[in-house]
Amino acid sequence: MIALDGDDDGDSDGDGTCIARARHLMADFLGRARADHGMAVSTRAVGLAQLVVSELVTNAHKYAPGPLRMELRIVDDAVEVTVRDGVRVLPVARPVEPGRVGQHGLEIVMAVVQAFQVRLEPAGKSVTARIALTDGSVGPR
C-alpha cells in the first residue's frame, strides 16, 4: 500500500502533487509487471489505468481532507487500484450532461473499467476499480 498526501512518507502535497505521483506509480507498476513478469499489458491499458488513478486520487484529494492510500495489484488479466480515504461518504456519478463543465470523473471511470466498488470502512471508505491489462475487455460490468 502506498501512502499519498502527506502521511507516512513525509510528503506534504496539499497542492495536488499526489495525483501526478499516483499516475507515475501506476505506470511504473505496470511497466514492472510487463518487464519483470512477462505480463501482457497494452499501451492503452497503461493510459486508461493512469486516467482512472488520476480521477480516483483527485476525488479523494478534493473531497476527503487528510491522508489517502493507494493500493495496486494484478488480479488475473487486470490491474486493480484501491484508493482509501478518511471520509465515510459514498461518491456518486452524476448523470451524463454533455454541457456540464467538470464533475465528469466518476462518469469517465465507470465507462472504462471492468468493475467498480465502493465500501464504507470504519475510518472512511475504499474505492476499487478494475482495469483490463489488454485491449478488448473494457466496458460495462
**Cβ atoms of 72 and 81 closer than 8 Å:** yes
Mean pLDDT computed over 96-121: 85
Does the pLDDT of residue 95 top 80, yes or no?
Answer: no
CA nearest 56: which of 15, 8, 116?
A: 116
Q: Which grid coordinates are listed for 90?
A: 459514498
Check residue 135 and give its pLDDT: 85
Q: Which grid coordinates are listed for 57?
A: 486520487
Half-sphere exposure of 30 toward its Cβ, with a 13 Å CA cutoff?
26
Q: If DSSP codes are grouped into helix, strand and coil, which group holds residue 139?
A: coil
Mean pLDDT computed over 30-57: 96
Higher-confidence residue of 86 and 105: namely 86
Q: Which grid coordinates are listed for 30?
A: 505496470
Q: What is the mean pLDDT of the chain?
A: 85
Mean pLDDT computed over 10-16: 51
Does the pLDDT of residue 47 top 70, yes or no?
Answer: yes
CA nearest 59: which of 23, 112, 19?
A: 19
Among the residue ranges 62-71, 95-104, 132-141, the one predicted with the least confidence is: 132-141
